[in-house]
Amino acid sequence: MVKINAENINLYTGVNATPKKTAEQTGTVVTFSGIHGLVKSQMEEKLNEFLLKEFAWFLALNSNRDFSISVNGIPIDFNDLVADQEELSFMHEDSQTTFTVRYVRWNQRLNNEPSRYYYINSEHKERWKEPTVIKNKGEQFYHSIFVKSLYFDAFSFQAAAEEKQEALIVGTRSDSQFRFLRKKLATILRIKRRPFLKVFAEKLISEYEEKNILPAVCHESLRKTLTTIYEMQPRIFTSLNLEQKKIMVGLLQILLESNNKNALPALLSSAIDLTPDEQSELEKLFY
């Protein structure tokens, strides 16, 4: 048993105890005593809130492994923190590799876990995790992506320099299967994130108006085109200086006023993995 006292929270007793084999169910029990400032219901509420934000991702990751965290015998449910989720599967045709993907969007920021991809093997065990491609810019798009596949049973997540030696034995990041997967995941996140970018798209238009980047006479079609493109891929607008922004807006205006309106949808399709609905949306803007 490990004991901690509030008077010296960094001083532990029992940390050197020798583990003993037991036939009982394993786990960890944490007991709080001597707390007089909170009643039981308040303590439970605060603990539940903290534990959810701390371990919701872990419980979701291990939902098939019978892990649980309980407060006074009542398990906390990570779904209480879920705002949206979807499960889907897809296959890399050339290798017949199947991936099962679970997308989860959290209604609050997790305590110490950024938005990540979690790669899971056929035994439901995490093999690796890493940040997703989305850089949160304040849109509160907190998410986790759990990817399960037999493919990850024998996979090297190490640096590319080490892949050459292992490529003949296990899967690596340079595999066509993994590149296919990452492209699919990026598309899923781009689509899921889009509703959260509407406010930022409106701010972009306001900024372009204030800085006279938009022409004095600006048709609604140009505003709509800029907004739609930003929602589909905001990275197109990053790192542009004032002159580059004006050039981009000018080229869009020329396209909208020309007989080559279909050039932009085709150009965007070559740069972004657009869904059929997005392709249709762009086509409606230009026809």
- pLDDT (tens digit per residue) in 146-201: 999 999 999 999 855 455 555 556 899 999 999 999 999 999 999 999 999 998 99
Examine the pLDDT at 88 and tell me if it is beyond 90: yes
Examine the pLDDT at 86 and tell me if it is beyond 80: yes
What mean pLDDT is reported for the chain?
89
Cα(142)–Cα(106) distance, rounded to whole angstroms?
Answer: 5
Nearest to 64 by CA among 120, 114, 23: 120
Cα(145)–Cα(128) distance, rounded to whole angstroms?
Answer: 12
Residues whose CB is less than 8 angstroms from the CB of residue 275 and which lie 6 or more positions away in sequence, other chains included: 187, 191
Cα(270)–Cα(124) distance, rounded to whole angstroms?
Answer: 36
Examine the pLDDT at 144 and tell me if it is beyond 90: yes
Is pLDDT larger for residue 126 or for residue 275? 126
pLDDT tens, position by position, 37-52: 778 888 889 999 999 9
Tokens for 84, please give them.
């949206």
- Count of CA atoms in the C-beta half-sphere (13 A) of 97: 23
- Count of CA atoms in the C-beta half-sphere (13 A) of 116: 16
Cα(248)–Cα(237) distance, rounded to whole angstroms?
Answer: 9
Is pLDDT larger for residue 213 or for residue 254? 213
Percentage of the chain surpassing pLDDT 70? 95
Q: Which amino acid is at 197?
A: L
Nearest to 181 by CA among 84, 266, 88, 276: 88
Tokens for 171, please give them.
């899967």
Chain centroid, CA 42 distance in Å = 32
For the residues 231-258, what does the mean pLDDT come to? 90
Tell the burial category of 28 from Cβ atoms under 10 Å away from its Cβ (0-12, 13-18, 19+).
exposed
pLDDT reported for residue 131: 95
For the residues 102-112, what does the mean pLDDT come to? 97
pLDDT tens, position by position, 65-79: 999 999 999 999 999
Residue that has been written with the tokens 């490529």 in this structure: 167
Cα(13)–Cα(2) distance, rounded to whole angstroms?
Answer: 5
pLDDT reported for residue 18: 84
pLDDT reported for residue 84: 98
13: confidence class by pLDDT, cuts 50, 70, 90: confident
Tokens for 275, please give them.
């869904």
- Inter-residue contact 78 to 60 (CB < 8 Å): yes
pLDDT reported for residue 64: 95
- Inter-residue contact 235 to 253 (CB < 8 Å): no
pLDDT tens, position by position, 205-242: 999 999 999 998 778 889 999 999 999 889 889 889 99
pLDDT reported for residue 161: 47
pLDDT reported for residue 54: 98
Is pLDDT larger for residue 4 or for residue 148? 148
Is pLDDT larger for residue 77 or for residue 34? 77
pTM of the model: 0.83
Task: Report the 3 state secondary structure along 68-127.
Answer: CCEECCEECCHHHHEEEEEEEEEEECCCCEEEEEEEEEECCCCCCCCCEEEEECCCCCEE
Cα(113)–Cα(52) distance, rounded to whole angstroms?
Answer: 12
